[in-house]
Amino acid sequence: MRNQPVSIPALALEWVAAQELYQFAQQLVQTPSPSSQEGAVARLIADQMKALKFPNVYINDMGSVIATLGNGNGPMLLYDAHMDTVDPGTPDRWLHPPYAGVIDNNILYGLGTTDMKGALASMIYGARQLLPYQNRINGTLVLAFVVQQEPCEGLAIRVLVEQDGFQPDYVLLGAPTNLQISRGQRGRVMFKISVEGKASHGSQPELGQNAIYAAARLVFSVQLLADDLPKDPFLGPGTIAVTGIGSRGLSLNAIPDLCKVFVDRRLTLGETVGSAQAQIESLIRREDIPATVEITTYSDPSYTGVVHTASEAHPAWVLDRGHPLVTTLSQVIQTVSGSVPGVGHWPFSTDGVYTMGQANIPTVGFGPGNPDLVHTCEEHIGLDDLKTAAHVYAGLAAAMLME
Ligand SMILES: [Zn+2]
């Protein structure tokens, strides 16, 4: 890798396929791919890459689409984008229908445009620019388009590394950054707290112990805890929020003997999954609440029927500002767009929780689209941004892997 200013080989800036890129991004939006139902979009992606003459394209047993380029004699750079989307919610709240793929005034509207089918299309068309020069790629460029990222970030990419045997030296995530650089994010844990009570008839509450009342004390304490969480100067504060509650009773005429409280905890740098759990456990002891805490797990089968179980506990991560992956990406963006990109962090969670947070692989983020539009019915993306992103994806691979 170069540490001096990069001159991207001219090949990365030749551009012949912008209209094809836009059409393909539109087709991706028009092909619904809720989490665990990505089969149709995976086949579309694999077929398109084969038609574009990518040499090695396949779908792994979990259902992720993978393509590799290069001679393997050098570092491995992996580009990661997820194929799944969240639920569109109420379709009539969308300006344009979520799966219509309407293009208006150089903007593509719809579910997944920023999160993250736009980036996915740009990665394909960026890498395509390198196809005629494959013998000059000293190393490997991997395109990994993964399943089930929305419900369980880090899971499908972990399978690629730990089961399929990919050992990337660098990872780039295409989650939206508005064409700026992201070099980290807070972590995330989902706690399920089970508060125990004792059932009795609703007419004789004094004979039971109302699990909802105990849970209410817990909820209040969690709210107070929110003010005291540590802050990191770069990632900001840790946060905590009660996001779900449900009780069990024999009927609405009975005192409930169980109340479950779900807590979304975001971890800033310096906090760990263990320290966050210990904090809740000590609060439960202090308030003398009969409750147990556990971390939730994810185990939905993928669309191919494969089950991988993952704990919903993901560490915070930050890549050094001066890491060559950040500086090289910054130079490439500057060369492509003419302006110096900002370097920040994502507000949400990404596959970096595994690649950098657990596997310690240097990971950086760059994607088209406004991160504030993610999971909203206003999702859209500028076509020009798709083209810029494709150039940057081509340029970064060229800068890192080619002479
Ligand atoms: Zn998302």
Ligand 1 centroid from CA 402, angstroms: 32
Average pLDDT of the residues in 96-121? 97
**pLDDT score at 5:** 43
pLDDT in tens, 161-191: 999 999 999 999 999 999 999 999 999 999 9
Ligand 1 centroid from CA 348, angstroms: 8
Ligand 1 centroid from CA 257, angstroms: 36
Q: Is the pLDDT of residue 322 over 80?
A: yes
Ligand 1 centroid from CA 210, angstroms: 38
Alpha-carbon distance values, 213 to 233, 241, 245, 261 (Å): 38, 18, 12, 12
Q: DSSP characters for 309-349?
A: -EESEE--EE--TT-HHHHHHHHHHHHHHSSPPPEEEESS-
- Residue 126 in contact with residue 332, Cβ under 8 Å? no
**pLDDT score at 269:** 94
Band the pLDDT of 15: cuts 50, 70, 90: low
Ligand 1 centroid from CA 185, angstroms: 14
**pLDDT score at 1:** 45
Which stretch of 226-230, 237-241, 285-289, 317-321 has the lowest confidence by average pLDDT? 226-230
Ligand 1 centroid from CA 195, angstroms: 31
Question: Nearest to residue 182, comparing CAs of 348, 51, 338?
Answer: 348
Ligand 1 centroid from CA 215, angstroms: 30
What span, in angstroms and rounded, lies between the C-alpha atoms of 172 and 157? 12
pLDDT in tens, 211-227: 999 999 999 999 999 98
pLDDT in tens, 245-297: 999 998 999 999 999 999 999 999 999 999 999 999 999 999 999 999 999 99
Q: Is the pLDDT of residue 13 over 60?
A: no
**pLDDT score at 91:** 84
Band the pLDDT of 14: cuts 50, 70, 90: low
Ligand 1 centroid from CA 86, angstroms: 6
The residue ranking higher by pLDDT, 103 or 250, is 103
pLDDT in tens, 122-151: 999 999 989 988 888 999 999 999 999 999
Which stretch of 2-16, 58-72, 73-87 has the lowest confidence by average pLDDT? 2-16
**pLDDT score at 65:** 98
Question: Nearest to residue 177, comparing CAs of 7, 400, 333, 295?
Answer: 333
Could you give the count of Cα atoms lying within 13 Å of 61 in the half-sphere of its Cβ? 6
Ligand 1 centroid from CA 79, angstroms: 17
Band the pLDDT of 17: cuts 50, 70, 90: confident
pLDDT in tens, 197-207: 999 999 999 99
**pLDDT score at 6:** 46
Average pLDDT of the residues in 335-360? 95
Q: Is the pLDDT of residue 305 over 50?
A: yes
Query: What φ, ψ does residue 306 adopt, rounded to 5°?
Result: -85, 135
Ligand 1 centroid from CA 176, angstroms: 10
Band the pLDDT of 2: cuts 50, 70, 90: very low
Q: Is the pLDDT of residue 12 over 80?
A: no
Alpha-carbon distance values, 26 to 65, 208, 322, 355 (Å): 19, 58, 36, 29
**pLDDT score at 115:** 97
Q: Is the pLDDT of residue 3 over 90?
A: no
Q: Domains in the chain, please, with CATH? A: 10-185+316-401 (3.40.630.10), 187-298 (3.30.70.360)
pLDDT in tens, 331-345: 999 999 999 999 999
Ligand 1 centroid from CA 109, angstroms: 16
What span, in angstroms and rounded, lies between the C-alpha atoms of 272 and 60? 32
At 153, list the tokens.
């970030």
Strand 65-69 versus strand 76-82 pairing type: unpaired
Ligand 1 centroid from CA 81, angstroms: 11
Ligand 1 centroid from CA 38, angstroms: 14
- Report helix, strand or coil for 105: coil
Ligand 1 centroid from CA 151, angstroms: 9
Ligand 1 centroid from CA 282, angstroms: 33
**pLDDT score at 385:** 96
Ligand 1 centroid from CA 243, angstroms: 18
Ligand 1 centroid from CA 287, angstroms: 36
Ligand 1 centroid from CA 150, angstroms: 5
Residue 400, preceding bond cis, omega within 30 degrees? Answer: no
